[in-house]
Chains A and B, each alone.
Chain A
Amino acid sequence: MSGKLFRNFSFLSATLSFFILVGIFAVLFTYAQDAMHEFGFDFLFNETWEADEDDEGGIFGGFIPIIGTLLSTLIAMLIATPLAMGISIFLTEIASETIAKPVSIAIELLAAIPSIIYGMWGLFYFAPIVHDIFGGNGVGLLTAGIVLAIMIIPFMAAITRDSMNTTPQVLKESAYAMGATKFEVIKDVVMPYAKGGIIGSIILALGRALGETMAVAFLIGSVMSLPGKITDPTTSIPVLLANNFAEAQDLEMSSMYFLALILFVVSFFIISIAKFYFLGKPVKVKK
């Protein structure tokens, strides 16, 4: 292969991800047109999701899946953030190397388990526990939120640990040398030093929770209704898409594309903020 050809092929490959991203946006936007024209901005706030008898039209509003997505994510974040912080503090500041290493591996393995496994495990083992403690019928917002939390904890902990590890040892020593306790060193030196990475990891985990499908699909109940209590079943955008997208027709299908577009755009912004505002640029060239 000549140099020129090689270079051009590599350039084309590089532009591919650009075209995929733009392509996703364009396709979703195009197919969502019918729903956008029909419902407009009200789509976001309308609770009704009903097809007409003849399946040709109907009234479709995204309020319930949007709220379900937001609430399950919120529950997951509230549980996951403190636990992930605790784990990273344990790994970077408390555990000796002989303990930190296997625990780190375990956390990384936990992050690698496919989400469908979390969903299935949650359905058969965790939902009954939630049912016993909090009532409800087991599946619902709370169960989905907790299992979602379990799923994003290792992800969040791994990035937070990495950024806490960048704190220079001598900086910590010099705080200890002034009589600081371990917690004070963490709070006043490590956390501020690793702030960007920590916030970035939280936001990335948020993005992941918003778009998670399989873990939530087993557990949220997949019911088109607003939850009155925290244990009530409801649905989320990814779950609605997973279960009903393929069978939908015409306007309902277009409404599904609209929901996918909303999810995509929101994720896009969340990830962008995390990456470019908090996590900085990726690896720099080593000289």
Chain B
Amino acid sequence: MNRLLLNKIILVLSTLSAVIGIGFLFWILGTLSYKGISSIHWSTFANDLVEGGIRNLLVGQFTMALLASALAVPLGMMAGIYLREYGHGSKLASLIRNLSDIMMSAPSIVIGVFVFALFVDPFGGYNGYAGIIALAIMMIPIIISTTDNMLALVPKELREAGIALGGSKHKIILQIVIKAAKVGITTGVLLSFARIIGETAPLLFTSANNQFFTMDLSGQFPSLTVSIYNLATYPDSASRELAWAASFILTMIVLCINLIGRYAIRNKK
């Protein structure tokens, strides 16, 4: 019977696509681990890029991502609070919500170009601050949307009960509503952190890269991802090995944060 055969074919093809999807994950993670682990030595973590290690790159990447979060998390959360708790239903709030949703998917290279025009070109060169701003611009819309959505899940009664007890609106928001949405917001913050720490494009011509260890944000700033891009295209095998080691470590960091954000926190509650 024709329709039964068609049914079988589609089901087999669907299963096959899942197998292909999983296959790619294992292929990518497999080669990454194989190449990465064999390229990692003690010196990889002890040395800076100039001596063939990634110490300064890891510190630099984390510094920028953490400072970007320090900028983006409070701003994004406050914006999310406005959209859900104050501006809810108003035209302005829904416009901002829509624009922020669009920003979330804006091409990251364009954000790099924008930050270059405002914070690199006028200041005479690449600098760590510009990198931080570019990453924060990527992060803010994600935090806004998470906060907005998670606050929406907090039952209205909780707010009403707080008000009924004589609490002022902003205290209820800070002391009750945010606490009730804590788990979801934390997950969102972790996932967006995982996203920006793996970003390359917005850093290419904002913070650029630095071979040396530095904490001076006013100059070029070391970046793990930008270094991977440079190292991978160098012809010598030492550079490539370092690129693999860096890629492996970056991927592990990103996947671990993801797993913690998605599963550990959510299940612990």
Contacts and interface: CB of A to CB of B under 8 A. Distances in A.
Direct touch of chains A and B (CB < 8 A): yes
A13 B116 contact: no
Nearest to A279: B101
Interface string B33-66: 0010000000000000000000000000000000
A120 B231 CA distance: 10
Contacts of B191: 112
B215 interface: no
B148 A211 contact: no
B232 A218 contact: yes
Given A13-B76, A20-B137, A285-B156, A112 B114 contact: no
A148 interface: no
A117 B100 contact: no
A264 B229 contact: no
Contacts of B243: 120
B232 A28 contact: no
Contact of A6 (B170, B258, B262): B170
B113 A241 contact: yes
Given A13-B76, A210-B107, A285-B152, A121 B31 contact: yes
A58 B261 CA distance: 50
Contacts of A21: 99, 102-103, 106
Interface string A30-53: 010000000000000000000000
Interface string B1-28: 0011011001101111110111011011
Interface in A126-162: 150, 153-154, 157
Contact of A116 (B15, B81, B205, B229): B229
B228 interface: yes
A10 B147 CA distance: 12
Contact of B152 (A83, A154, A286): A286
Contacts of A16: 75, 79, 140
A212 B140 CA distance: 19
Contacts of B28: 110, 113, 117-118, 121
Nearest to A150: B24
A276 B17 contact: no
Interface string A163-181: 0000000000000000001
Given A283-B152, A286-B155, A116 B225 contact: yes
A238 B107 CA distance: 8
Interface size on B, as a range, is 35 or more
A124 B240 CA distance: 10
**Most interface-central of A86, A95, A267 (chain B CB within 10 A):** A86
B251 A113 contact: yes
A271 B102 contact: yes
Contacts of A31: 117
B229 A86 contact: no
B19 to A, nearest CB: 9
Contact of B103 (A17, A87, A110, A204): A17
B93 interface: yes
A242 interface: yes
Interface string B97-140: 11111110111111111101110000000000000000001001
B114 A211 contact: no
B149 A283 contact: yes
Interface in B140-163: 140-141, 144-145, 148-149, 152-153, 155-156
A278 B174 CA distance: 34
Given A87-B17, A94-B11, 11 more contacts: A10-B86, A13-B76, A17-B103, A20-B103, A82-B17, A83-B21, A86-B17, A90-B18, A116-B198, A204-B105, A214-B200
Interface of A: 1-3, 6-7, 9-18, 20-21, 23-24, 27-28, 31, 82-87, 89-91, 93-95, 103, 105-110, 112-121, 123-125, 150, 153-154, 157, 181-184, 186, 204, 207-208, 210-214, 217-218, 238, 241-242, 245-246, 256-257, 260, 263-264, 267-268, 271-272, 275-276, 282-287
9 contacts: A7-B170, A10-B82, A27-B117, A83-B20, A213-B200, A242-B204, A246-B208, A272-B102, A282-B148
